[in-house]
């Protein structure tokens, strides 16, 4: 048993340690768990609060409705008792013997002992059928007692001349209806009611009064308080706010009946306790029935509901934590293994990751990584082969290169020799040739960027030298609409196109030909165009199609030869290498040609600028 307990304790400790590690917010698992738990706790809190508030409000409303129904029932019982007494006393007041006896009194006579004793059966009938009636008293209109024999006069019997006179006035105003006085001023164990007796045969003229004394215990509502639950208090007050009945011994001690009857709030504070107050007034007697129910008795079910909500939230939280842990583990475990495989690449070991996830997205991620590893291996092998080829090419270029100083010195000597012989035109060609070699040879082993002005000046030198060869057969012009001294482009990117225009266009044409180089803004934003045109032999549709297909499929194969030689393929590939990010959205090199009408090659180059400290001598229009 101890071993099992110790094993369980170690397991719980490991879970807490792992959970603490997993909840590190800088990890994916920690962020997922934190996000899931935050959403879950917020959702449970909102749902629990809304459920608790709605159920509490519903319980309170139902309790208040039940209390109000109980008050209506209690008031109905009270009014049933009052109606019974009212009906019995009305029968006594309208009895023929009572009417005749009071008529004789009104005519000036006074009944004898036997006449008054004869009222006993009438009074007994009222007391027998009326619940809790202690006595029934008859008085003349002057207040003299007729029955029972002996006793006080009317004013003294109902509380004295001042108070009794007020009650008599109110009974007179009701014209024969019962006026319920309430608690007797002379005896707190009795409840009084008075009715004026009217003579039916004399147009309901007042002739006397009937006073009923009722036992106070008749109006106790103990059963009503029991129906409302433990702690419920029922109070019955008369018109003057005197307590007639209660289901407790002394009602509520220290309670101001006036303020309690005037209270309109649903909740009241009495003796340090909160009660729900419901009032119901009797239409017959004008008395007020109050039911006070303790709030804790009403909200007892709310405490149970609160416990149920908390337990449900706790169970839901535990289940959600377990499910979130399992879900995050299922997602992050393959990712961690993938990260482990990727870290091995830092040590030069590229190996594919294991495919162990049933999730489609993670599986796709692992599959893509494995494809990337295979591609990188091929690229590494390709780069290695290219470096070997480049080293060989550089070695061959160095072996084949003529020493620049020897070449420049030779051309300079030729230039001064021609100047001495007044061969200025040939001297100019020698200078152009020298500058052309200098521009081409410099930076042979590295890629360079030059300004548009420098590149156009190189084209001008080449055309000048080609003009010496072709004579009047070659006409040319260079025109630029942009800032030549700030725009940058790769070196020797235009000359191969001009060379193609002369060799494949003008040279194959009978008669003279025109080569035009134009630089202008491109419709695409942040680009400019270089257009090389010739009116030479042109190409047929099949040849043009093959050239375009070769350019689209050239890839990295710079050695692939097309129908137009290496020039166009070389230019196109260099543009793709230099502007790789923009090449996908731009048509960097476009060719248009028609047989016998010439060829147009258009370069679209993204704009790059640089401050140029010197400006090469360039004449934009010369031919």
Q: CATH number, domain at 210?
A: 3.30.450.20
Give the pLDDT band of residue 219 (cuts 50, 70, 90).
confident
Structural domain contains residue 486: yes
Q: Are residues 193 and 116 in the same domain?
A: yes
| Highest mean pLDDT: which range of 45-49, 392-396, 538-542 | 538-542
| Cα gap 239→185, rounded to integer Å | 13
For 288, list phi and psi in degrees, rounded to 5.
-120, 125
Average pLDDT over residues 114-131: 90
Whether residue 235 has pLDDT greater than 60: yes
Q: Are residues 184 and 224 in the same domain?
A: no
| Cα gap 354→363, rounded to integer Å | 10
- The pLDDT score that the predictor gives to residue 595 is 87
Q: Are residues 125 and 224 in the same domain?
A: no
Whether residue 589 has pLDDT greater than 80: yes
The dihedral through the CA atoms of 97, 103, 105, 109 has a sign that is negative
- Among 179, 231, 172, smallest CA distance to 205 is for 172
- Write down the pTM of the prediction: 0.46
Whether residue 210 has pLDDT greater than 90: yes
Strand 513-521 relative to strand 474-480, pairing: parallel
Higher pLDDT, 277 or 93: 93
- The pLDDT score that the predictor gives to residue 191 is 93
Q: Are residues 234 and 362 in the same domain?
A: no
Q: Are residues 551 and 471 in the same domain?
A: yes
Higher pLDDT, 512 or 434: 512
Give the pLDDT band of residue 615 (cuts 50, 70, 90).
very low
Work out the mean pLDDT of the chain and round it to a whole number. 78
Q: Are residues 208 and 267 in the same domain?
A: no
Average pLDDT over residues 520-547: 90
How would you write 226-263 as a 3-class SS string? HHCCCCCEEEEECCCCCEEEECCCCCCCCCCHHHHHHC
Q: Are residues 185 and 212 in the same domain?
A: yes
- The pLDDT score that the predictor gives to residue 138 is 94
Whether residue 347 has pLDDT greater than 80: no
Average pLDDT over residues 136-156: 88
Tokens of 287: 């008395």
| Cα gap 373→376, rounded to integer Å | 5
- Among 60, 461, 486, smallest CA distance to 296 is for 60
33-35-39-44 Cα dihedral, nearest 10 degrees: 30
Average pLDDT over residues 361-385: 78
Q: E strand or H helix at 377, and its extent?
A: helix 360-400
Structural domain contains residue 11: no
Structural domain contains residue 31: no
Whether residue 611 has pLDDT greater than 60: no
Higher pLDDT, 95 or 442: 95
Q: Are residues 455 and 599 in the same domain?
A: yes
- The pLDDT score that the predictor gives to residue 556 is 41
Higher pLDDT, 376 or 417: 376
Average pLDDT over residues 440-466: 77
Q: Are residues 157 and 177 in the same domain?
A: yes
Higher pLDDT, 398 or 608: 608
- The pLDDT score that the predictor gives to residue 96 is 93
- The pLDDT score that the predictor gives to residue 139 is 93
- Among 285, 103, 117, smallest CA distance to 202 is for 103
- The pLDDT score that the predictor gives to residue 359 is 66
Structural domain contains residue 69: no
Structural domain contains residue 360: yes
Q: Which residues contact 513 (CB under 8 A, 6 or more apart)?
A: 473, 474, 475, 505, 506, 534, 535, 536
Q: What is the CATH number of the domain that holds 594?
A: 3.30.565.10
Average pLDDT over residues 109-133: 89
Which of 97-111, 382-396, 450-464, 507-521 shows the lowest mean pLDDT across its residues?
Answer: 382-396
Q: Which residues contact 79 (CB under 8 A, 6 or more apart)?
A: 282, 283, 284, 285
| Cα gap 66→84, rounded to integer Å | 27
Whether residue 278 has pLDDT greater than 50: yes
Structural domain contains residue 257: yes
Higher pLDDT, 128 or 27: 128
Structural domain boundaries enclosing 99: 94-216
Give the pLDDT band of residue 211 (cuts 50, 70, 90).
very high
- Among 573, 508, 581, smallest CA distance to 538 is for 508
220-225-230-231 Cα dihedral, nearest 10 degrees: -70
Structural domain contains residue 309: no
Q: Which residues contact 17 (CB under 8 A, 6 or more apart)?
A: none
* pLDDT, tens digit (0-9, with 9 covering 90-100), for 321-341: 787 777 777 777 777 777 777
If one counts the domains in the chain, the total is 4
- The pLDDT score that the predictor gives to residue 89 is 93
Whether residue 618 has pLDDT greater than 50: no
* pLDDT, tens digit (0-9, with 9 covering 90-100), for 162-201: 788 888 899 989 988 999 999 888 888 899 999 999 999 9
Domain boundary among 216, 232, 253: 216
Burial (CB < 10 A; 0-12, 13-18, 19+), residue 194, is buried
Q: Are residues 281 and 360 in the same domain?
A: no
- The pLDDT score that the predictor gives to residue 192 is 93
Average pLDDT over residues 9-26: 51
**Percentage of the chain surpassing pLDDT 90?**
17
| Cα gap 226→234, rounded to integer Å | 10
Q: Are residues 231 and 359 in the same domain?
A: no
Domain boundary among 298, 317, 342: 298
Whether residue 69 has pLDDT greater than 50: yes
* pLDDT, tens digit (0-9, with 9 covering 90-100), for 490-511: 888 898 899 899 888 888 888 8
Average pLDDT over residues 359-368: 74
Strand 233-237 relative to strand 288-294, pairing: antiparallel
Q: Are residues 99 and 244 in the same domain?
A: no
| Cα gap 136→124, rounded to integer Å | 9
* Contact in structure between 533 and 497 (CB atoms under 8 Å): no
DSSP 504: I
**Percentage of the chain surpassing pLDDT 70?**
75
Give the pLDDT band of residue 95 (cuts 50, 70, 90).
very high
Give the pLDDT band of residue 14 (cuts 50, 70, 90).
low
Preceding omega of 148 cis (within 30 degrees of 0): yes
Structural domain contains residue 575: yes
Whether residue 476 has pLDDT greater than 80: yes
Average pLDDT over residues 340-357: 69
Give the pLDDT band of residue 155 (cuts 50, 70, 90).
confident
């Amino acid at each position: 048993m101890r071993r099992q307990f110790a094993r369980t304790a170690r397991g719980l400790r490991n879970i807490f340690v792992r959970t603490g590690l997993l909840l590190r917010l800088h990890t994916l698992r920690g962020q997922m768990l934190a996000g899931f738990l935050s959403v879950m706790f917020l959702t449970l809190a909102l749902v629990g609060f809304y459920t608790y508030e709605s159920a509490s409000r519903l319980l309170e409303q139902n309790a208040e409705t039940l209390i109000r129904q109980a008050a209506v029932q209690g008031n109905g019982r009270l009014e049933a008792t009052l109606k019974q007494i009212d009906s019995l006393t009305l029968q006594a007041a309208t009895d023929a013997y009572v009417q005749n006896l009071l008529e004789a009194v009104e005519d000036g006579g006074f009944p004898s002992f036997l006449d008054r004793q004869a009222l006993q059966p009438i009074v007994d009938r009222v007391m027998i059928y009326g619940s809790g009636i202690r006595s029934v008293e008859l008085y003349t209109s002057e207040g003299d007692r007729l029955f029972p024999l002996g006793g006080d006069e009317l004013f003294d019997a109902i509380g004295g001349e001042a108070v009794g006179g007020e009650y008599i006035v109110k009974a007179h105003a009701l014209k024969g209806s019962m006026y319920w006085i309430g608690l007797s001023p002379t005896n707190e164990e009795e409840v009084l009611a008075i009715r004026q007796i009217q003579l039916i045969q004399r147009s309901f003229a007042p002739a006397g009064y009937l006073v009923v004394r009722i036992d106070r215990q008749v109006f106790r509502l103990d059963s009503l308080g029991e129906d409302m639950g433990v702690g419920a208090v029922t109070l019955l007050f008369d018109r003057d706010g005197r307590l007639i009945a209660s289901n407790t011994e002394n009602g509520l001690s220290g309670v101001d009946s006036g303020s309690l009857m005037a209270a309109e709030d649903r909740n009241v504070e009495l003796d340090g306790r909160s009660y729900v107050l419901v009032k119901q007034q009797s239409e017959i007697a004008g008395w007020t029935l109050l039911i006070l129910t303790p709030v804790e008795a009403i909200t007892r079910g709310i405490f149970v509901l609160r416990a149920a909500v908390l337990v449900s939230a706790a169970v839901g939280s535990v289940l959600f934590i377990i499910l979130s842990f399992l879900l995050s583990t299922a997602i992050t475990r393959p990712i961690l293994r993938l990260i482990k495989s990727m870290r091995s690449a830092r040590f030069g070991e590229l190996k594919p990751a294991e495919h162990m996830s049933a999730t489609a997205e993670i599986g796709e991620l692992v599959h893509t990584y494995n494809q990337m590893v295979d591609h990188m291996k091929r690229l590494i092998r390709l780069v290695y082969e290219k470096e070997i080829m480049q080293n060989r090419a550089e070695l061959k270029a160095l072996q084949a290169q003529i020493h620049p100083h020897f070449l420049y010195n030779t051309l300079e000597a030729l230039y001064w020799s021609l100047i001495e012989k007044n061969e200025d035109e040939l001297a100019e060609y020698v200078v152009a040739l020298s500058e052309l070699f200098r521009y081409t040879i410099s930076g042979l082993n590295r890629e360079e960027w030059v300004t548009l002005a420098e590149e156009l000046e190189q084209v001008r030198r080449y055309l000048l030298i080609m003009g010496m060869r072709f004579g009047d057969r070659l006409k040319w012009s260079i025109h630029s609409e942009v800032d030549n001294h700030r725009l940058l482009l790769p070196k020797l990117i235009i000359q191969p196109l001009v060379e193609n225009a002369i060799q494949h266009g003008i040279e194959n044409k009978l008669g003279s030909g025109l080569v035009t180089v134009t630089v202008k803004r491109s419709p695409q934003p942040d680009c400019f165009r270089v257009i090389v045109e010739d009116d030479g032999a042109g190409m047929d549709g099949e040849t043009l199609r093959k050239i375009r297909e070769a350019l689209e499929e050239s890839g990295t194969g710079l050695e692939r030869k097309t129908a137009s030689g290496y020039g166009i393929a070389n230019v196109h590939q260099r543009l793709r290498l230099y502007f790789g990010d923009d090449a996908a959205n731009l048509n960097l090199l476009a060719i248009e040609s028609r047989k016998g009408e010439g060829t147009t090659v258009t370069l679209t180059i993204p704009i790059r600028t640089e401050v140029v400290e010197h400006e090469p001598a360039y004449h934009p229009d010369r031919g």
